[in-house]
Amino acid sequence: MKNIKLNPSRKSGFSLVEMLVVIAIIGIIAAIAIPNIGNLNASARDASARRNAQTVASVVNAAIAAGVDTTAITDTASAVAAAEGGLTPTQGAFKGKLFTSGAINAEDRSTVISYLSWDNSNKQLNYTTTSSAQ
């Protein structure tokens, strides 16, 4: 067998071409990923607004079923405000109990309202899966 000697002057490492290929691949991945990150934020805000709308509708309808007076609720905005502040039945088994959704971010309130509708004839708050703002 022949003895093969390696060139001792050659140093190990990456060539310029290899580095450029890696940088190009990272650039392509970043170009694809960055626009999707912006969509994730908007999607998360919309999901949060939907969940808040569902919560408000559940709280208001449960409070109405428990005996809350609905004369102060005339539209969707007043129903959301009532749910945030809390509703307390004046009669029945739940008399004195507080039904509340908690505070809703002021920036999200209009989006939450767009998923709700007040049915004045049946005195109930309806949640819809599509926003009236769309």
107-130 pLDDT, tens digit per residue, is 889 999 999 999 989 999 999 988
Q: What six digits make up the tokens of 56?
A: 């408000």
Residue 1: predicted pLDDT: 58
Residue at 120: amino acid letter = N
Neighbours of 113 (CB within 10 A): 24
Which class for 45: exposed (0-12), middle (13-18), buried (19 or more C-beta within 10 A)? middle
Q: What is the pTM of this model?
A: 0.71
pLDDT level of residue 33 (50, 70, 90 thresholds): confident
Query: Of 81 and 36, which is predicted with more confidence?
Result: 81
What would the two tokens of residue 9 be?
A: 């002057």
Provide the pLDDT for residue 66: 93
pLDDT of residue 10: 62
When pLDDT is cut at 50, 70 and 90, the band that residue 25 belongs to is very high
Q: Residue 7: is its pLDDT beyond 70? A: no
Please report the pLDDT score of residue 6 as a whole number: 61
CB 120 within 8 A of CB 126: no
| Average of per-residue pLDDT across 32-51 | 86
Higher pLDDT, 9 or 17: 17
SS3 per residue for the chain: CCCCCCCCCCCCCCCHHHHHHHHHHHHHHHHHHHHHHHHHHHHHHHHHHHHHHHHHHHHHHHHHHHCCCCCCCCCHHHHHHHHHHCECCCCCCCCCCCECCCCCCHHHHHHHHHCEEEECCCCEEEECCCCCCC
Which of 36-45, 55-64, 102-111 is the least confident region?
Answer: 36-45
